[in-house]
Structure 1
Amino acid sequence: MALTAAAAITVPAVSPAGVLAEEAAFTDVSARYAEAVSYLTENGITKGLTANQFGTAKSISRVDAVIQMALALGFDPKGTYKDAGFTDVPKRGQWAVNALAEKNIVAGKKAGTFGAHDAITRNETARLIALAYELPMVESVPETSFSDVSEKWARYVAALVNHGITEGKASSHFGADDNLTRGEWALFLHRLSTSTEKEFNLTVMHTNDTHAHVENAARKVTAIKEVRKVKPDALLLDAGDVFSGTLYFNEYLGQADLEFMNLAGYDAMTFGNHEFDLGTKPLADFIENAKFPFVSANVNFSSDENVKGLFKNEMSASPQDGTVYNGIIKEVDGEKVGIFGLTTAETTDISSPGEGVAFEDYLEESEKAVAAFEEQGVDKIIALTHIGFKDGGGDNDMTLAQEVEGIDIIVGGHSHDQLKEPVLETTGTDPTVIVQANEYNKFLGTLDVTFDENGKVIGHAGKLIEIDAKDEGGAYVLKDDPEAAKILAEKYKPAVDEKRNTVVGESDVALNGERADVRTKETNLGNLITDGMLEKAKTINKEAVIALQNGGGIRASINEGKITLDEVLTVMPFGNSLALMNLTGAEIKAALEHSVKEAPGQSGGFLQVSGLKFTYDSSKPAGARVQSIEVKKGGEYAPLADSDSYIVATNTFTAKGGDGYDMFGKAYEEGRVSEPGFVDWEMFRDYIQAHPGITPESEKRIIDTKQ
Structure 2
Amino acid sequence: MTYSLYLAHINDTHSHFEPTLVHFDVTIEQKAYQVDAYCGGYARLATAVQQHKALAKENNSASLFLHAGDSFQGSLYFSQFKGEANAHLLNLMSVDAMTIGNHEFDLGNAPVSKFVDQVNFPCLAGNMDLSQEDQQKHLPLAPHKNLYYYNNQLAIANYVLKPLGEKQLAIVGITHDQMHNIGCPDADCHFLNAIETTKATVKHLNQQGVNHIIILSHLGYEGDIALAKAVTGISVIVGGHSHTLTGEFGHLGQACTGNEGQWQNDCLILQAGKHAESIGLSCLHFDKSGKVIKLDGGTQFLIDDNWQAKQNGQVVCEQTRAQISEYLATAAGLLKCPDDQQIAEIINQQYRPVVEQMKSQVVTKLSHPLRHSRMPNQELPNGSEVSPLVCQGFYQASAAQHPTDFALHNAGGVRVSLKAGPLSKADICGRLLPFEITLMSYLLKGEDLAMVIEGAINNATNNGLMGTGDGSFPYFYKLRYRYHADKALGQRVSQIELEDEEGWQVLQPQRVYRGVSSAYTLAGKEGYDALLNSWDHHDLELSMSDSFVSFASSKEYLL
TM-score scaled by structure 1? 0.48
Aligned to 1:374: 206
- Deviation, structure 1 residue 583: 4.2
Which ranges in structure 1 are unaligned for 5 or more consecutive residues? Answer: 1-197, 317-324, 391-395, 537-543, 586-590, 592-608, 613-631, 648-673, 677-681, 699-707
Aligned to 1:454: 289
3-state SS, counterpart of residue 221 of structure 2: coil
Note closer, same or farther for the CA distance 1:483–1:453 as it changes in structure 2 (3 Å cut).
Answer: same
Distance 2:271 2:527 in 1: 15
Aligned to 1:486: 345
3-state SS, counterpart of residue 310 of structure 1: coil
Q: 2:42 aligns with which of 207, 217, 228?
A: 217
Note closer, same or farther for the CA distance 1:697–1:312 as it changes in structure 2 (3 Å cut).
Answer: closer
3-state SS, counterpart of residue 467 of structure 1: strand
Note closer, same or farther for the CA distance 1:497–1:359 as it changes in structure 2 (3 Å cut).
Answer: same
- Deviation, structure 1 residue 345: 2.4
Distance 2:491 2:65 in 1: 41
Contact 1:304 1:357 in 2 (8 A): no
Q: 2:53 aligns with which of 228, 232, 235?
A: 228
3-state SS, counterpart of residue 186 of structure 2: coil
The answer to whether the aligner puts 1:337 opposite 2:140 as a matched pair is no
Q: 2:230 aligns with which of 403, 418, 442?
A: 403
Aligned to 2:482: 637
The answer to whether the aligner puts 1:465 opposite 2:300 as a matched pair is yes
Note closer, same or farther for the CA distance 1:533–1:359 as it changes in structure 2 (3 Å cut).
Answer: farther
Distance 1:250 1:457 in 2: 40
Contact 1:556 1:570 in 2 (8 A): no
Q: Which amino acid aligns with 2:5?
A: L
Matches within 5 A, 1:506-517: 510=366, 512-513=368-369
Aligned to 1:204: 7
Q: 1:310 aligns with which of 137, 144, 165?
A: 144
Aligned to 1:556: 419
The answer to whether the aligner puts 1:477 opposite 2:336 as a matched pair is yes
Contact 2:4 2:285 in 1 (8 A): yes
Q: Which amino acid aligns with 2:180?
A: T
Contact 2:70 2:100 in 1 (8 A): yes
Q: Which amino acid aligns with 2:160?
A: I
3-state SS, counterpart of residue 282 of structure 1: helix
- Deviation, structure 1 residue 457: 2.4
Aligned to 1:529: 387
Q: Which amino acid aligns with 2:337?
A: L
3-state SS, counterpart of residue 69 of structure 2: coil
Aligned to 1:134: none
Q: 1:239 aligns with which of 52, 61, 68?
A: 68
Aligned to 1:565: 425
Contact 2:122 2:146 in 1 (8 A): no
- Deviation, structure 1 residue 469: 4.5
- Deviation, structure 1 residue 271: 0.4
Contact 2:124 2:147 in 1 (8 A): no
Distance 2:49 2:210 in 1: 27
- Deviation, structure 1 residue 694: 10
Query: What do the CA deviations read for 1:607-659 (whole angstroms, capped 9, x no partner)?
Result: xx9769xxxxxxxxxxxxxxxxxxx9x94325554999999xxxxxxxxxxxx
- Deviation, structure 1 residue 530: 6.5
Note closer, same or farther for the CA distance 1:346–1:486 as it changes in structure 2 (3 Å cut).
Answer: same
Contact 1:205 1:235 in 2 (8 A): yes
- Deviation, structure 1 residue 438: 1.3
| Larger relative contact order (Cα-Cα within 8 Å, sequence gap ≥ 6) | 2
3-state SS, counterpart of residue 364 of structure 1: helix
- Deviation, structure 1 residue 277: 1.8
- Deviation, structure 1 residue 245: 1.2
Aligned to 1:285: 114
Contact 2:246 2:271 in 1 (8 A): yes
Contact 1:512 1:523 in 2 (8 A): no
Note closer, same or farther for the CA distance 1:351–1:199 as it changes in structure 2 (3 Å cut).
Answer: same
Contact 1:208 1:413 in 2 (8 A): yes
Contact 1:268 1:293 in 2 (8 A): yes
Contact 2:121 2:146 in 1 (8 A): no
Query: What do the CA deviations read for 1:82-105 (whole angstroms, capped 9, x no partner)?
Result: xxxxxxxxxxxxxxxxxxxxxxxx
Note closer, same or farther for the CA distance 1:458–1:358 as it changes in structure 2 (3 Å cut).
Answer: same
- Deviation, structure 1 residue 201: 1.9
The answer to whether the aligner puts 1:685 opposite 2:541 as a matched pair is no
Distance 1:277 1:335 in 2: 38
Note closer, same or farther for the CA distance 1:697–1:230 as it changes in structure 2 (3 Å cut).
Answer: closer
Contact 2:433 2:545 in 1 (8 A): no
- Deviation, structure 1 residue 497: 2.3
Distance 1:646 1:570 in 2: 39
Q: Which amino acid aligns with 2:545?
A: R
- Deviation, structure 1 residue 420: 3.3
Aligned to 2:534: none
Distance 1:434 1:453 in 2: 19
Distance 1:214 1:272 in 2: 18
Distance 2:336 2:263 in 1: 37
3-state SS, counterpart of residue 268 of structure 2: strand
- Deviation, structure 1 residue 558: 5.1
TM-score scaled by structure 2? 0.60
Q: 2:188 aligns with which of 356, 363, 367?
A: 356
Note closer, same or farther for the CA distance 1:300–1:468 as it changes in structure 2 (3 Å cut).
Answer: farther
Aligned to 2:512: none
Q: Which amino acid aligns with 1:261?
A: L
The answer to whether the aligner puts 1:419 opposite 2:246 as a matched pair is yes
Note closer, same or farther for the CA distance 1:690–1:675 as it changes in structure 2 (3 Å cut).
Answer: farther
3-state SS, counterpart of residue 486 of structure 1: helix
The answer to whether the aligner puts 1:436 opposite 2:252 as a matched pair is no
Distance 1:246 1:330 in 2: 33
Contact 2:282 2:295 in 1 (8 A): yes
Contact 1:530 1:547 in 2 (8 A): no
Note closer, same or farther for the CA distance 1:312–1:245 as it changes in structure 2 (3 Å cut).
Answer: closer
3-state SS, counterpart of residue 387 of structure 1: coil
Note closer, same or farther for the CA distance 1:514–1:571 as it changes in structure 2 (3 Å cut).
Answer: farther
Q: What is the percent sequence identity of the aligned residues?
A: 26
3-state SS, counterpart of residue 336 of structure 2: coil
Matches within 5 A, 1:561-640: 564-568=424-428, 572=432, 581-583=460-462, 635-638=480-483
Query: What do the CA deviations read for 1:275-333 (whole angstroms, capped 9, x no partner)?
Result: 112222222221122121122210123425421111589799xxxxxxxx721111133
Distance 1:257 1:450 in 2: 32
Note closer, same or farther for the CA distance 1:463–1:202 as it changes in structure 2 (3 Å cut).
Answer: same
Which ranges in structure 2 are unaligned for 5 or more consecutive residues? Answer: 19-40, 151-156, 249-258, 310-324, 326-334, 395-407, 436-455, 465-469, 493-525, 529-541
Which is greater in Rg?
A: 1
Aligned to 2:400: none
Note closer, same or farther for the CA distance 1:273–1:472 as it changes in structure 2 (3 Å cut).
Answer: closer
Q: Which amino acid aligns with 1:438?
A: G
Q: 2:103 aligns with which of 274, 280, 295?
A: 274
Distance 2:15 2:78 in 1: 6
Distance 2:69 2:240 in 1: 7
Note closer, same or farther for the CA distance 1:341–1:675 as it changes in structure 2 (3 Å cut).
Answer: farther
Aligned positions, number = 400
